[in-house]
Amino acid sequence: VQLQASGGGLVQAGGSLRLSCTASGFVFEDYAIGWFRRAPGKEREGVSCINNSDGNRFYADSVKGRFTVSSDIAENTSYLQIDSLKPEDTAVYYCAAHPRVAYVKALCLGYYGMDYWGEGTQVTVSS
């Protein structure tokens, strides 16, 4: 089983990035994907989650309207489109997988232990 996150980088405030999370070793459609971030000195935050089976999505209030999560089942890949980046978005971003859930909000809020985690990708936003 493998999850590989990529797409991070250094961008100016107001810019955009698209993060990718490519999965292998499990039936992607049967899982939910969570995108989490950890900023220096802060707790891990679930920013967006998606059930691959039905497309239900959740966004944290801190990113609503700026982040868009999606999944390409055929490509076994989830994407996190990040627009209107702010310096406070600077963090290491991780993707993680859990079997489909009834409420993706609960997944992002940490009520489930994720089955698989990918290595993080650094996003740095300069002001």
Measure the CA–CA gap between 38 and 77, rounded to whole angstroms. 21
Share of the chain above pLDDT 70, in %: 100
**Per-residue pLDDT, 10:** 98
Supply the mean pLDDT for the chain: 97
Q: Which residues contact 2 (CB under 8 A, 6 or more apart)?
A: 23, 24, 25, 116, 118
Write the pLDDT tens digit of every residue in 60-102: 999 999 999 999 999 999 999 999 999 999 999 999 999 999 9
**Per-residue pLDDT, 54:** 94
